Amino acid sequence: MVAYILRRLLVGIPTLLALVVFSYLIIVAAPGSPFLGERSLPPEVLANMEARYGLDQPILRQVMNYVWGIITEFDFGPSFSYKDRTVTEIIAQGFPITLTYGFLAFLISVAVGVTLGVIAAVRQNSWYDYLAVGISIGAQVLPNFVMAPILVLVFTLWLGWLPGGGWQGGQLPYLIMPVIALSTSFMASIARITRSSMLEVLGTDFILTARAKGIGFRRLIFRHALKPAMLPVVSYLGPTFVGMITGSVVIDMYFSTGGIGQFFVNAAINRDYPLVMGITILTGFLTIAFNLVVDVIYAWIDPRIRY
Amino acid sequence: MSRLRIRNLCVDFSTPDGTVSAVRDVSLDLEDGEILAIVGESGSGKSQTAFAAMGLLPANARCSGSVCFDGKEILGLDDDALSGIRAREIAMIFQNPMTSLNPYRRISDQMTEVLEVHQGLSKKAARTQCIAMLESVNISDARMRFEQFPHECSGGMRQRVMIAMSLLCRPRILIADEPTTALDVTIQAQVIDLLKMIRERYGMAIILITHDLGLVAGCSDRVAVMYAGRVMESGPTEELFLSPRHPYTDALLKSLIRMDEDTSRLYSISGSHPDTTDAGSGGCPFNPRCPVSTIACSASLPAVRTVGSRSWACIR
Ligand SMILES: Nc1ncnc2c1ncn2[C@@H]1O[C@H](COP(=O)(O)OP(=O)(O)O)[C@@H](O)[C@H]1O
Ligand SMILES: [Mg+2]
């Protein structure tokens, strides 16, 4: 198992490298330039700036320099659009924010989603089931960009209970709306996946055996059905978790939380190549890491899987 | 009084295509120490009869009639009430040993929980009993098998584990639903021998459900032949084999492959098992395929006739 994990991490290195090269090529190939802002610069100045950041060199040379900088000095370069700040600094500032509200939203959507899904499945076709399915369909049609304005309308403008935006070091009042807005639709998906996989597990032969053993309802659900029913949920959660902790543009924009979701979009608009690359690499790394985590959890749940 | 007494049991399923009557008016008795075989083609309602008795029917099923264990009505009890019956008084094993054990849990956990729940034993105390039970169903290396996951054992081994697990609380009745159908022929014989041994050792009653009349000959005391959800004929195994009273039983016996006869052609019953959705034309369900049917056979359902230990539902 340990050997397997190490091997997977080793394989992750070339994957990440390929991600870096392709993203770099794609973003540089996109029309526009980092230095073509509102005011047009004289050609000499432009050439000067491009030379300073190495953008005048052949593209493969640029990629190699970039990768070399990361490997030797863990240097992700300066940001083009945020003057005097490095990509590392920006990510170090923004990532903890998205990590905080993303992780909380993740915990809540898993806890609520799994509970709703399990209840709906074990009480199939009862009013519990209809209520749970109803709630999750309701939540499904409320993605974060719909939830955010509704929450602000209700809790900030009407009731005046919560601040409409800001972060303030992640104090509770500032956390509540971003977390709710981000979690609802994920919660709904998790509830749906849990319900259908639980129903499938409850129809298997080994559940019939367990019922014939007269071991009681709780034991049946918690000792026999829950673990296998979590398999599809776990594979959904891997990429979802990464998506949630690397933040949401909508949340960052709407609530001015200052997370990296917002930086990423701004960077893309401004052709801030190093910042786009930095956040892409972070997301890529997390994706590889959590795919591995999913596989490890799979092996833990299902003893037939051996690596 | 019989240990288990089933009277007028009916099981209906509501499906999108209408009501399926899987079990119709089945009555059976089971005495201690007896092996009762329920034989019938696939779809004839054997499993649903057993599931109804155990309270294991699917959600879309509705049942009526009566199932009495030791004179106490158990049909229609909820899971809580049945937990005093299941495993303690009536245990059940299933057709496919490959899927009947939980693949995500160790055999040890699946076995000990039976004793933990029903006898309040600690895991440690349960462990000794479980391993002893594995040994008594002829599992070699019982200690090692006990710690394994089901996928590490063969099909025959898993069925033995199922049997051992079902015996832990010393139930009065074991219902074995096609316990050998999914196994190799050589393993089949071993499992049947094991069931006979259990009957001897614990004096328990066994309901052996099978579609294989040949399997029944060597081990059961009585046979009930089911067709289209009904018991067509029942009686002591030997008598029923020697002189079948119902044309369906007769046809089944003829279609057995006999080792001692040189038959160049296999006998088969023409036609196919009826669709259980149609409510029945009112006549004998076997009538369309019966080689000796008369006009009267399609008029009304033949009443069950009982003579001594034998009964059959045919007007002839
Ligand atoms: N959940 C269900 N819904 C509808 N019909 C069912 C269901 N389960 C079983 N049946 C029907 O009940 C009939 C008897 O099934 P069963 O008792 O399993 O037969 P067998 O004698 O092969 O064990 C079959 O025709 C089958 O199609
Ligand atoms: Mg069956």
Distance of alpha carbon B215 from alpha carbon A174, whole angstroms: 73
The reported pLDDT for the residue numbered B112 is: 97
Cα B211 to ligand 1 centre (Å):
14
Tell me: pLDDT of A172 over 90: no
Where are chain B's structural domains?
4-89+171-312, 91-170
Question: Which residue's CA lies nearest to atom 12 of ligand 1?
Answer: B22
Q: Greater confidence, A64 or A112? A: A112
Average pLDDT of the residues in A95-118: 94
CATH code where residue A200 lies? 1.10.3720.10
Q: Are residues A175 and A227 in the same domain?
A: yes
Q: Do A223 and B105 touch (CB under 8 A)?
A: yes
Answer whether residue A52 is part of any domain.
yes
Q: Are residues A41 and A167 in the same domain?
A: no
Distances (CA, A) of A81 to A34, A150, A254, A268, B90: 8, 32, 21, 10, 76
The reported pLDDT for the residue numbered A42 is: 78
Question: Which residue's CA lies nearest to atom 27 of ligand 1?
Answer: B43
Q: Are residues A66 and A121 in the same domain?
A: no
Q: Which fold has domain B4-89+171-312?
A: Rossmann fold (3.40.50)
Distance of alpha carbon B246 from alpha carbon B215, whole angstroms: 20
Answer whether residue A262 is part of any domain.
yes
Q: pLDDT-derived band of residue A144, with 50, 70 and 90 as boundaries? A: confident
Q: Are residues A146 and A101 in the same domain?
A: yes
Question: Which residue's CA lies nearest to atom 5 of ligand 1?
Answer: B13
The reported pLDDT for the residue numbered A57 is: 83
Distance of alpha carbon B174 from alpha carbon A222, whole angstroms: 27
The reported pLDDT for the residue numbered B306 is: 93
Q: What is the pTM of this model?
A: 0.89
Task: Measure B92 CA to nearest chain A CA, in Å.
Answer: 6
Q: At what angle do helices A273-301 and A59-73 cross, to 10 degrees?
A: 60
The reported pLDDT for the residue numbered B269 is: 79
- pLDDT tens-digit map of A245-260: 987 888 988 898 888 9
Q: Are residues A182 and A291 in the same domain?
A: yes
Answer whether residue A50 is part of any domain.
yes
Q: Are B207 and B38 in contact (CB under 8 A)?
A: yes
Q: Are residues A29 and A114 in the same domain?
A: no
Answer whether residue A306 is part of any domain.
no
Q: Are residues A54 and A111 in the same domain?
A: no
In which residue ranges of chain B is pLDDT below 50?
A: none
Answer whether residue A291 is part of any domain.
yes
Task: Measure A219 CA to nearest chain B CA, in Å.
Answer: 9
Q: Greater confidence, A136 or A38? A: A136
Answer whether residue A197 is part of any domain.
yes
Tell me: pLDDT of A193 over 60: yes
Provide the domain limits for residue A12.
2-73
The residue out of A45, A73, A101 marking a domain boundary is A73
The reported pLDDT for the residue numbered B262 is: 60
Q: Do A212 and B92 touch (CB under 8 A)?
A: yes
Q: Are residues A53 and A107 in the same domain?
A: no
* Residues of chain B contacting residue A213, judged by C-beta atoms under 8 Å apart: 86-87, 91, 113-114, 117, 165
Distance of alpha carbon A137 from alpha carbon B12, whole angstroms: 34
The reported pLDDT for the residue numbered B162 is: 97
Number of A/B CB contacts below 8 angstroms equals: 78
Answer whether residue A85 is part of any domain.
no
Answer whether residue A98 is part of any domain.
yes
Q: Are residues A235 and A167 in the same domain?
A: yes
Kindly state if the Cβ of B20 falls inside 6 Å of ligand 1: yes
Q: Are residues A277 and A146 in the same domain?
A: yes
Q: Give the pair of three-digit tokens for residue A68.
A: 């070399």
Strands of B4-15's sheet, edge to edge?
B18-30, B4-15, B61-69, B72-73
ipTM of predicted complex: 0.92
Instruction: Give Cα A98 to chain centroid, integer Å.
Output: 9
Q: Are A266 and A81 in contact (CB under 8 A)?
A: yes
The reported pLDDT for the residue numbered A39 is: 63
Q: Are residues A222 and A272 in the same domain?
A: yes
If one counts the domains in chain A, the total is: 2
